[in-house]
Amino acid sequence: MAIESMSTVVDAFLAHAQLEKGLARNTIIAYSRDLERFVASLGNVAPSKLTREHVRDFVSRLEADGLSAASRARALVAVRRLLKFMCAEDLLEDDPSRGVMSPKVGRALPRVLAPDETQALISACGDKGPLALRDRAMLEVLYGAGLRVSELVQLPLSGLDRRGGMLRVVGKGGHERIVPLGELALTAIEEYLDHARGGLLVKAGDRTHALFVTRRGGAMTRQNFFALLRKLALAAGIDRERVSPHVLRHAFATDLLEGGADLRSIQMMLGHSDLSTTEIYTHVGRGRLKDTVDRHHPRGAGAGGSGKAKNTTKPRAKPAGPPGSGKSK
């Protein structure tokens, strides 16, 4: 591999990541942006002369520029992958990023809806007319299968196995997975296909292969579906800022976990490549439990507004019969 500069190496790495590793376009764009900063920080340093200090100086410079810990950590991931590629191509003997500490990033818990709120959102779709049947089917699939919104709107009709109750989903990086559908989601899809989709396709001349289509017969878009969710949230009496396609994906995972599903199964259904990504939902479950205690326990944080429980217990009446025979409140 003929090397003239670090820019040449970065170009080769990005081509490798896109063509051979199949990384998503947005990931390639993010890597390109971060690695452009890295190359600029190096000046005229030759690829073979990279050291650990160069990597550390780059991370320090990002901090001095005011980038958040999350942004610095993401940039360091891009640099690590670049250097790993360089080692594989024999451009470096040792990886200079080894031993460089990644900025600590606090993981924010994903927002979720309570099961009754999710049900209210689905009920807001109604059950009459082709658009109502389509909307209900889309929400049932999003919540019942935990799809990303891009996966939902790009579902082809051929990806549905009606008899087996399965969906073939193409996720990030072109990775394919099979996702089971629950009875309610499958029933909603059946009603949509039998009583709605054909009518919506009339204007398009039945040329689209998308499972979910608009009133004009074209494939749904992410923007259209996001606007639809906001409208349904308003009808359901839920704060629109709390509702998004990803929130329903989080609700799917959280409700599964709290229902007793194991993390590995949830990981497979969500299409996570790393189990640590799925483990965030164990913290969501604990957060729900803490919220329940805070709101309902007499010693919870919500008991008196300041974390101190109000003493609202009435004096217990003496039992009429022998000791132990009285009923406590």
Q: Are 247 and 190 in contact (CB under 8 A)?
A: no
User: Which residue is catalytic, options 72, 81, 197, 249?
Assistant: 249
272 is catalytic: yes
Per-residue pLDDT of the chain (329 residues; tens, 9 = 90+): 545 689 999 999 999 988 877 777 888 899 999 999 999 999 888 898 999 999 999 999 998 888 888 888 899 999 999 999 999 998 998 999 988 888 776 555 556 788 899 999 999 999 889 999 999 999 999 988 888 899 999 999 999 998 898 999 888 778 888 888 888 999 999 999 999 998 888 765 656 788 999 888 888 888 989 999 999 999 999 998 889 888 888 888 887 777 777 777 777 778 776 676 666 666 555 555 455 555 555 555 655 444 444 444 444 444 444 434 444 33
209 is catalytic: no
Query: What pairs with residue 166 in β-bridges?
Result: 161, 180
User: Which residue is catalytic, options 107, 209, 246, 299?
Assistant: 246
What spatial distance separates the first Cα and last Cα of the chain, rounded to whole Å?
A: 81
User: Which residue is catalytic, options 148, 192, 197, 250?
Assistant: 148
Q: pTM of the predicted model, to two decimals?
A: 0.57
Q: Residue 276: what pLDDT? A: 67
Q: Residue 215: what pLDDT? A: 86
Q: Residue 3: what pLDDT? A: 53
Phi/psi of residue 219, nearest 5 degrees: -70, 145
Q: Residue 122: what pLDDT? A: 93
- Write down all domains in the chain, each with its CATH number in brackets: 6-88 (1.10.150.130), 115-281 (1.10.443.10)
Strand order in the sheet with 176-180: 160-161, 166-170, 176-180
Q: Residue 241: what pLDDT? A: 86
249 is catalytic: yes
Rounded to whole angstroms, the Cα distance separating 268 from 97 reads 31
329 is catalytic: no
143 is catalytic: no
